[in-house]
Structure 1
């Protein structure tokens, strides 16, 4: 029937299976090649850490591979789309389907179906696996590939502004009132910016306001005298846990609920949340980009193979697909700088190229 979106059940299964197998093949090829190149560049730093060997190299591969899969899955869908449609075109199967009364959208319907399933799977994969792997890998890299920290949300080497003074922590764990700092140093500065006093402690906890240093050691720069307190003392009264959240917030390493809490904390501290909100929306639009790839690569499906323009059509389809990724990254960067609103930064490239793809398809084939 003309109003049916999918072709026959047999045709749908045939095209969908062909497309899915090519997506998997292209993804495996890309991930294997990129993983080998990445491992070659990082293996020297991994093995430089004392006690590291083959086990740590395999650990790195296990943490890095999910990132590569999530990042290059949309590219794989684009390349698999072009390969699938070129194959169907060269075998005159597209001509047969068109002669049977199928529209261009019906020919592409099985590809949209598979791409939709891939988008949902990619979203779940990002939330359940990629965020955890990213958090663990960044925490491991922060200690120069030493022993992997038990808490993957540890923030290392954090500098915080306390008015004219500076607060430094070797590492920070916990959230809100339970935030704790280790190997903490507070630098008191005069109006000219010169350091006049340095206070160090092994740990510090939030005192609301300020941070309570345990057994702090004070060094007076002018007199060169060092004193150690028997108890505790409060310093950096203008530094709040919200500032720590701002420094720790990492959209790539946080799930949607965790990122939502980070955005609320940053907003409560009266800081800009444009970058984090753009990343929040992009967690939806990013995986959904796989659905666009069959539409952008559809130009390779139509036209006579013997006309000699099949290669050029494939190049055009690939150019449209890669142009989307360029515009998407540019819009996300503009959202991070506040040039675009978060919703526009995340969704405008998707809507723009959806309209472009539909226009090209309708004007040339429908």
Structure 2
């Protein structure tokens, strides 16, 4: 218990210091790029607002890297003071030492899950809404590119959407049957969401077999997507809550991506939770070697290179999975399993 508390304290101290340093550095770089745009949307106080809303996303993304560097520094410090040598002389192997800092990794995983799945989706949405708040409230704002989405059996396209998602312009709506055959096509100039739901305004309706379109002043759109879904799809954010990913995988509600994207993202979120443990394995060989041996620093450098390689390879495989080029499980779990195996083999080699 005393050993666990001692090693956990050192490890958490180094990891927190590294995390703070990385966040401050990235925040400064981000603010250098965005300060002029932030000032155009408000005053100097909004710089702090922007930085605060960006903070949860940065923290969640940097935790695995902070665990890697923090573990390397912790093990090098213990090796430098010969504490590792003393522990091994007492019969404590590398696995006992790693087990002593395991609770700190569990804490890092819990913090990462809370940031990426609960806090970051809210702060990113708040930042996106504030960033786009220069438009006239309640009036459709032209999108950078036309939005296409699937809403149940319907195919919907929108040219402009208000910031709250309750007013649309340039709507194309194709209604289909259960087998995917088009039942009717609707071109509407406007759509407004009120207490009774959506109303399409100034529209033309065409059905298969009819030679002339029907012109209507108004038509109810009972099965239309929710304003919140329109808002989120028209101005998407990177962080997605767990319930949205699960609904997207099942094809429920309005979506702009196929099932492969949501299935891969779900697996990737789960795999991200094991990243701190993989980083700890990759950093463990840094504990071996005597203080004056350059070989100890080489071990730490190899661990750092492997950790950065893991982040790069994992990101590439996830992107391929989201595009449908790889299966969700293969895309999300290949990098964690391969690099964890590499860490285990390196640790076994040091113990042999």
Give me the TM-score of the superposition, normalised by structure 2: 0.78
CA positional deviation for 1:122: 1.4
Aligned residues of 2:225 and 2:253 also touching (Cα < 8 A): no
Cα distance change on mapping 1:146 and 1:40 into 2, 3 Å: farther
What per-residue deviation string (whole Å, max 9, x for no partner) do you get for residues 68-111 of structure 1?
A: 11111111111101111111111111111111111111122222
Out of 259, 267, 270, the residue aligned to residue 284 of structure 1 is 270
Residue 177 of structure 1 is matched in structure 2 by: none
1:45 aligns with 2:76: no
Cα distance change on mapping 1:172 and 1:212 into 2, 3 Å: farther
**Pairwise CA RMSD of aligned residues?**
3.9
Give me the TM-score of the superposition, normalised by structure 1: 0.75
CA distance in 2, matches of 1:134, 1:275: 20
Aligned residues of 1:132 and 1:254 also touching (Cα < 8 A): no
1:26 aligns with 2:12: no
CA distance in 2, matches of 1:63, 1:310: 40
Residue 226 of structure 1 is matched in structure 2 by: none
Residue 146 of structure 1 is matched in structure 2 by: 134
Residue 200 of structure 1 is matched in structure 2 by: 189
Aligned residues of 1:18 and 1:84 also touching (Cα < 8 A): yes
CA positional deviation for 1:274: 1.0
CA distance in 1, matches of 2:81, 2:325: 48
Residue 176 of structure 1 is matched in structure 2 by: none
Residue 52 of structure 2 is matched in structure 1 by: 62
Residue 84 of structure 2 is matched in structure 1 by: 94
CA distance in 1, matches of 2:134, 2:281: 46
CA distance in 2, matches of 1:15, 1:156: 56
CA distance in 2, matches of 1:343, 1:278: 7
CA distance in 2, matches of 1:265, 1:285: 22
Provide the aligned length of Structure 1 versus Structure 2.
322
Cα distance change on mapping 1:127 and 1:92 into 2, 3 Å: same
CA distance in 1, matches of 2:288, 2:157: 64
CA distance in 2, matches of 1:131, 1:165: 25
CA positional deviation for 1:362: 0.6
CA positional deviation for 1:298: 1.0
1:338 aligns with 2:344: no
Structure 1 segments unaligned to the other structure (5+ residues): 1-8, 174-179, 189-197, 219-228
CA distance in 2, matches of 1:246, 1:47: 25
1:184 aligns with 2:169: yes
**Aligned residue runs from structure 1 range 287-306, under 5 A:** 287-306=273-292
CA distance in 2, matches of 1:18, 1:321: 20
Aligned residues of 2:141 and 2:163 also touching (Cα < 8 A): yes
Structure 2 segments unaligned to the other structure (5+ residues): 174-186, 205-214
CA distance in 2, matches of 1:245, 1:276: 19
Residue 213 of structure 1 is matched in structure 2 by: 200
What per-residue deviation string (whole Å, max 9, x for no partner) do you get for residues 121-180 of structure 1?
A: 211232221111122222333x1x638989xxx99726246999964222375xxxxxx6
Cα distance change on mapping 1:330 and 1:166 into 2, 3 Å: closer
Out of 342, 347, 352, the residue aligned to residue 361 of structure 1 is 347
